[in-house]
Structure 1
Amino acid sequence: MSDADSRKPGPSEKRRPVLFSHGDTGYLRLRKLTHGPGEQKRFLCLPRTGDKEGAPKDGPLVEVAMVGASAHWTSHARLEDAAELALLLSHPAIPRTHGLFQHRGGRYLVTEYVSGISLNMAGHYGSVRGRQLSEAFTLYVASVVADVLSYVHTLTDAAGRPLGIIHRAVDPYNVILKHDGTVMLAHFMSACSLLPGRAPVVPFIVQGEIDFAAPERLGPMPEGGVDSRSDLFSVGMVMLEMITGLQLYGSDEVEKAAEKLPPGHPGYDGEVPWVSEVSSWTTVEEMARRAAAFRPEHIDHLMRRVSEPVRLIIHKLLRRRPEERYATAAALKGDLDACLGVLDAPYGAREAIEELLKARSDALAVKGPIELIPSDEAERRAGELYLLTNH
């Protein structure tokens, strides 16, 4: 990694500010995206490089995670950790990482921009039209995610030592269907690993998402630590929401059960409350109470219209004790593929995108496009619209 040279934008770049430059490439800022973990900011950018004649050439759209010059050193260290890990990942369903660059004291991690529709939006379409996407859709998507996690969880270094990677942010926002129906698992910014020299863990802060987090991640580190099975719990949470349109921790039944727990149940370590580095609809303490309160009957109530084979898979994923869940992502994928294999007709990328676009069309018929599109779809479409209107 080297310090980037600054350069002046050419005449054609003045319409868009340059977020940063590296060599003779400027990264034009198209849109600010949702915040990353901690002090990290994210932007959708268009790389632009001048050729020998001085005419600009546009590269593919990218996402840039930025930590400014004034950020705490731990934020810079975490972005360096994320870059080191990302550069080791090579899977068709993981966005490619282009590199980590420095410019005027800031650090910029450049990754592939994934154009498509998030699972969050897919669930939104189902809620608006009054019918969730099919079980087959969820099984197909979950199978790809399980394949990615199997690859990630079993990755080793050059000496064959396990890297112990945990994604920690498996949620509907980070699972994206491209326009050809292929599935991507994005945003490894909150991932942890056993790579040497990692930034120190900050006490009392839960890194990664908490809305879909396993119970063992919502407070003090359990004896034996947290392992890859916490990601599998998150897969179960995503599957449950996609099939039912309901969120386990947000259900009325679990909320009432959590109210019956004694005061000061999980979420505290001594007198210091745990907090989430990623915004959520409630506190870590409240989420931990709900994670400690849910019971199998609560899951059954939410899945009363789900087929028996799929219900059994989700139940096994959502066991509170990690040792009772699937041991590996590969074992999970085996059961998901078995369910897909007994369907009346094959279901894959083409069927998934056709079903998703039909759900979007149905939702648009209920609500106009302005009401229908929340921020994450606007983010995904921002780059596409820019390219359509400028090229």
Structure 2
Amino acid sequence: MSIDRPESSTPPRLLFCVDGTRYELVRKLGRRSSGELLLARRRHAKGPSGCVIIKRLCRPVSEKQKQRLVQEVQLAYRLEHPGIARVYHWGTHGDLPYVVMEYVEGHSLETVLSVAAMRQRPMSEAFVCHVVSEIADALHYAHTRTDEQGRFLGIVHRDVTPENIRVGVSGEVKLVDFGVAYSLLPGRDATTASILRGDIAYASPERMRLEPVDHRSDLFSLGLVMLELLTGRHLFDLEDVEHAARSGGDVLAADRDSLQSEARCEEPSWLPVAQMAARIERFGPEDVARATQGLSEPLRAVVHRVLQREPSARYQTGLELRDALRALLVVQGRPYGRPEAAREVLVAVKEAELLRESADVLEPDVFPGFPGGRTEH
């Protein structure tokens, strides 16, 4: 049984028509604070059909929700990069705003992590270098965008997670869902300082401290994804970090109480805000060193740098991180790109399926917006 399959066993149901193009429901994928996600088939009056993702708001709809979706679309229209999923169309149907987005057929990194865990072996270093370098390049593009007058937009994705990164069937790697992104677009609805949007399991230390963040916060999040792909473990799952968080003393307890009273998450997480903040506050280079044991030394150095607590000590741009990872691929002496990435994911999925009679548990992960991927270890 395939994972992330675009088809459904139920007959398609018409959602709406736009200029002769039909949008038929394949299946519902789930809900997030930014809207309901649907997998749909787009059928043109003339020409081929294909799957798309539709994000629509659910009743009741507030003006703030509408404004957020409009802002997401306005931002997405400015992002034309092969490593970023596209937005095709925006409209309203039955008084509910919706947006039609690119469906990247393949697997999210959340699924890749799941199948790697099932077969009890993480992905190769080459695979991780390729995937992370592609996302670093996409992030650098987004981070450096300007408006029509050349004014810096200050885009920060704020939700770089395994759910929001997909590897297509041909090995293409794409970042999706800028629904909680920060930018300096005029008219932007500012996020309340005490609200943490996105998955806090991949938040940077400065973000968890409710401090202003910039593009380097996204790079830290990408570093956490990178480490998890390489080792099969999230950095803040490590026993040493958990022990330090539990025995941090009165100062840490006070910080946790303060954060608990100030901050709240828009999305559910596998740990309460205070516990995640404690783990992030207590991790250090020694934890990264323990987590990366067994990796090649050059790659360990890259992970160490991207996971520095202070933004000034990290890679300063996505371009720097991309170039460092691509240099490692060159040093290994054999090519690794889209065909190799697609083949490695396919092999991992088949190996995992051989170890399980059914992969049904993975099927909800058809699109990175679907909630509830992670549970506490």
Establish whether TM, by shorter chain, passes 0.5. yes
Alignment check: 8 A CA contact 1:214 1:233 kept: yes
CA offset at residue 22 of structure 1? 3.2
The answer on whether the counterparts of 2:29 and 2:39 sit within 8 Å (CA) in structure 1 is yes
Query: Residue 64 of structure 1: SS of its match in structure 2?
Result: strand
CA distance 1:50–1:146, change in 2 (3 Å): closer
Deviations 1:79-135 (A, max 9, x none): 000000001110112112112101222100111111001112212222111211110
Cα offset, 1:17, TM superposition? 3.0
Which has the larger displacement, 239-248 or 89-98?
89-98
Partner of 1:248: 235
Give the % identical residues.
36
State yes or no: 1:171 paired with 2:161.
yes
Q: 1:62 aligns with which of 52, 59, 84?
A: 52
- The 5-angstrom pairing of residues 184-223 of structure 1 reads 184-220=174-210, 222=211
Is the contact made by 1:219 and 1:274 (CA closer than 8 Å) also made in structure 2?
no
Match of 1:367 in 2: 356
Find out whether 1:236 has 2:231 as its counterpart.
Answer: no
> Aligned partner of 1:47: which letter?
R
Superposed, which structure 2 residues align to 1:273-288 within 5 Å? 273-288=262-277
| Number of the residue aligned with 1:34 | 30
- Write the mapping of 1:349-360 to structure 2, written as runs, cut at 5 A: 349-360=338-349
Q: Is the 8 A contact 1:32 1:43 kept in 2?
A: yes
Quote how far apart the aligned CAs of 1:68 are.
Answer: 3.0
CA distance in 2, matches of 1:141, 1:374: 22
Please tell me whether the aligned partners of residues 34 and 69 of structure 2 are also in contact (alpha carbons under 8 angstroms). no
* Number of residue pairs matched by the alignment: 356
Q: Which amino acid aligns with 1:226?
A: V
Superimposed CA distance per residue, residues 2-61 of structure 1 (whole angstroms, 9 cap, x where no aligned partner): xxxxxxxxxxxx94333344344342221111323x25111111224557xxxxx76321
After superposition, give the CA deviation of every residue in 1:179-236 in whole Å (9 maximum; x if it has no partner). 111111111111111000011323422112211111111242x2xx210000000111
State the match for 1:106 in structure 2. 96
CA distance 1:372–1:67, change in 2 (3 Å)? closer
CA RMSD of aligned residues (A): 2.0
Residues 61 and 300 of structure 1: is their aligned pair in 2 closer, same or farther, counting only changes over 3 Å? same
After superposition, where does 1:36-55 map in structure 2 within 5 Å?
Answer: 36=32, 38=33, 40-49=35-44
Matched AA of 1:299: V
SS of the residue aligned with 1:19? Answer: strand
The equivalent of 1:54 in structure 2 is: none
* Deviation larger for 14-23 or 256-265: 14-23
Contact 1:142/1:235 (<8 A) preserved: yes
Structure 2 counterpart of 1:45, which letter? A
Contact 2:180 2:198 in 1 (8 A): yes
Q: Deviations over 1:319-361 (max 9, x none)?
A: 1111111111111111111111101311111111111111112
Secondary structure class of the residue paired with 1:195: coil
The match for 1:289 is: 278
Query: Which residue of structure 1 lines up, in the alignment, with residue 372 of structure 2?
Result: none
Q: Counterparts of 1:16 and 1:142 in 2: how far apart (Å)? A: 36
C-alpha spacing 1:273/1:19, structure 2 compared with 1 (3 Å)? farther
Superposed counterparts of 1:82-97, under 5 Å: 82-97=72-87
Distance apart, 1:294 and its partner CA = 0.6
CA distance in 2, matches of 1:76, 1:219: 29
Given that 2:31 and 2:37 are in contact with CA atoms closer than 8 Å, whether structure 1 keeps it comes out as yes
TM-score by length of 1: 0.86
Q: Which has the higher contact order (CA 8 A, sep 6+)?
A: 2
**Relative to 1, partners in 2 of residues 1:268 and 1:25: Cα closer, same or farther, differing over 3 Å?**
farther
Q: Distance in 1 between matches of 2:285 and 2:19?
A: 57
Shift of 1:152: 0.7
Conserved? CA contact 1:145–1:185, under 8 Å: yes
Report deviation, 1:374.
4.5
Unaligned runs of 5+ in 2: 1-9, 369-377
State the structure with more CA Rg.
Answer: 1
CA distance in 2, matches of 1:131, 1:346: 22
Q: Does 1:19 align with 2:6?
A: no
Larger deviation, residues 193-202 vs 74-83: 193-202
